[in-house]
Structure 1
Amino acid sequence: MSGGTGPAWRRAAVVLRDAGLTSPDAEARELLAHVLGVDVARLALVDGPDDQQTAALDALVVRRASREPLQHLTGRAAFRHVELAVGPGVFVPRPETELLAGWAVAAARAVEGTPVVVDLGTGSGAIARAVAEEVPHAEVHAVELDEGAHAWAARNLAGTGVDLRLGDLADAFVDLDDTVDVVVSNPPYIPLTAWESVTPEARDHDPAAALWSGDDGLDAIRAVEVSAARLLRDGGVVGVEHAEVQAEAAPAVFAATGRWREVRDHADLTDRPRWTTARLARWARPGGPGTMAR
């Protein structure tokens, strides 16, 4: 980068690189652009920071070097075609979840008439917002259990028409039973035993309720399976994110019940298995007659 912002950017990047961050140059640009109030693409066209802005940048760089999430420092996170407000108290949406959201968008578009979409455990509202923006004729519902995260979702979903509720994904939307076309969820899925493997940005700053899910990490995915079977109409579809190491275990949650067909796992852009989809078998309902797939 050249121009008046070059020295400030280079100084910030050195600190972040020495702290061991994997993308110090890009993150230094993001922080500098945030302090200057411009888009990253315009950094080469504007003057460097003044003394007050330099002090603000230095403070943000110190916080990022200590592994506070970049998105907490800027207050925003890009997700597909939207920008979300994020900060302490809500899970920061990751790029890999954009693929799951894209699947939900495509599944909703494939429905004749008005598609009904439910986002279980919406967090910041990322997936629900993406579907509402990209499928404007869809009827979108979202639920979040954590009050702090729900407040962030309310901010991000304001004016979108999304029906946002505070509640548990395990028993949400009983009024929609048997009527939903698409259920999508990025639930907690990290085993309690995997503490040391989680990055400091997530472990120390994302809400615990958005990360941990029992000894094997599958408790919430099991709850999504049951709720999806209750909510979906015959032939409706569900998509759920999971950890890379759950490439066999997550699909098995659906396959083992006999309620689902077309159970498939999908890879992210780095070819890591990250999400499972399935279609509700005809007349399959939790605990009811005909629970075996036909």
Structure 2
Amino acid sequence: MTSVRRHAALAAAVDQLRAAGVASPEHDAAELLAHVHGLERRDLFRIDTVGDDLAARFDTLIERRAAREPLQHLTGAAFFRHVELAVGPGVFVPRPETELLAGWAIEHARAVGDGAGRAPVVIDLCTGSGAIAKSVADEVDGAEVHAVELDESAHGWAERNLAGTGVDLRHGDMGTAFDDLAGTVDVVVCNPPYIPLEAWESVAVEARDHDPHLALFSGDDGLDAIRVLAARAALLLRPGGVVGAEHADVQGESAPGVFAATGRWVEIVDHRDLAGRPRFTTARLAR
């Protein structure tokens, strides 16, 4: 590809991505063109033409995106609430929907600090890239934030993202982590795996082929990890502490049902995302 006008380069890229079934071809093409120029997408208006070298880089990235490699793997970054995260192969790319769950955790952590006059203690189980833990540390002054990740590769990404934040990151299983904090935690938050194994074919190619399967699938009904969470959070939380967990949009009744079945939780509420779909469940540990 030789030097071309910006509009022509974008138009050709959008056509290629749309033909490949990419869900947001205009957005992704613009993000990748901005990326090769070292610009924010909003600053693309500064470019009139795309030079030969950058055009070749852009073509390569568009081909990879058309092959359904995640956009964030191509740029190396994902944005989540007010923080930037390094991401790539081997870690689950945080989704915008999860920002609502993080916001819930932040709100409740702040309420502890305001009401109890002490630093809130927050645990992020299945932290993945560290998105929720980093957001809590960023937005809740003085919060004591802990996080755990089992997958070795994902843990490496979390180490990178949480460096310098003060978050206590551990490498381990959500079902056995933080025995030393039992009964002292105010907020437990978790974006667990929740896709049923039988739903393999319905998973978006970007996730199915590039996200760690440990972060996606959770037993025949998709609820195995949430069952572990309900038991673990009951051990970790103070009486009256709260837990929040993301789930699939078809689990708006079954995920809350996991907590209800234990008899240990009150104020069990399911929350919808901005598209009106069931997205996460919260509950309070009975006193």
In structure 2, the residue matched to 1:7 is 8
CA contact (8 A) 1:140 1:162 kept: yes
Pick from 189, 195, 198 the counterpart of residue 190 of structure 1.
195
Pick from 154, 163, 166 the counterpart of residue 159 of structure 2.
154
Following TM superposition, by how much is the alpha carbon of 1:50 offset from its aligned partner in structure 2, in angstroms?
1.4
CA distance in 2, matches of 1:193, 1:4: 47
In structure 2, the residue matched to 1:210 is 215
CA distance in 2, matches of 1:22, 1:156: 27
CA distance in 1, matches of 2:264, 2:74: 44
CA contact (8 A) 1:118 1:184 kept: yes
Superposition map of 1:72-221 within 5 A: 72-111=73-112, 112=116, 113-221=118-226
CA distance in 2, matches of 1:48, 1:156: 35
CA contact (8 A) 1:4 1:44 kept: no
Following TM superposition, by how much is the alpha carbon of 1:47 offset from its aligned partner in structure 2, in angstroms?
4.2
1:86-143, CA deviations, whole angstroms, 9 ceiling, x for partnerless residues? 0000000001000000000001000032100000000000000000000021000000
Which amino acid letter does the alignment assign opposite residue 121 of structure 2? V
| TM-score, normalisation: structure 2 | 0.96
1:71 has 2:94 as partner:
no
Following TM superposition, by how much is the alpha carbon of 1:5 offset from its aligned partner in structure 2, in angstroms?
2.3
CA distance in 1, matches of 2:276, 2:157: 31
The secondary structure found in structure 1 opposite 2:124 is strand
In structure 2, the residue matched to 1:245 is 250
Share of identical aligned residues, percent? Answer: 68
CA contact (8 A) 1:119 1:185 kept: yes
Which amino acid letter does the alignment assign opposite residue 247 of structure 2? H
CA distance in 1, matches of 2:197, 2:15: 35
1:162-194, CA deviations, whole angstroms, 9 ceiling, x for partnerless residues? 000000000100000000000000000001110
1:27 has 2:32 as partner:
no
CA distance in 2, matches of 1:265, 1:196: 27
Mind listing any 5+ residue stretches in structure 1 that lack a counterpart? 283-294
In structure 2, the residue matched to 1:227 is 232
The secondary structure found in structure 1 opposite 2:90 is coil
Which moves more between the two structures, 7-16 or 112-121? 7-16
Following TM superposition, by how much is the alpha carbon of 1:43 offset from its aligned partner in structure 2, in angstroms?
0.5
The secondary structure found in structure 2 opposite 1:274 is strand
1:36 has 2:37 as partner:
yes
CA distance in 2, matches of 1:223, 1:48: 54
| TM-score, normalisation: structure 1 | 0.94
Pick from 254, 276, 279 the counterpart of residue 281 of structure 2.
276
In structure 2, the residue matched to 1:267 is 272
In structure 2, the residue matched to 1:289 is none
Following TM superposition, by how much is the alpha carbon of 1:49 offset from its aligned partner in structure 2, in angstroms?
2.3
In structure 2, the residue matched to 1:292 is none
CA contact (8 A) 1:123 1:153 kept: yes
Following TM superposition, by how much is the alpha carbon of 1:57 offset from its aligned partner in structure 2, in angstroms?
0.5
The secondary structure found in structure 2 opposite 1:127 is helix
CA distance in 2, matches of 1:152, 1:122: 10
The secondary structure found in structure 1 opposite 2:274 is coil
In structure 2, the residue matched to 1:55 is 56
Q: CA RMSD in A?
A: 1.0
CA contact (8 A) 1:93 1:126 kept: yes
CA distance in 1, matches of 2:278, 2:183: 29
Mind listing any 5+ residue stretches in structure 2 that lack a counterpart? none
CA distance in 2, matches of 1:137, 1:154: 20
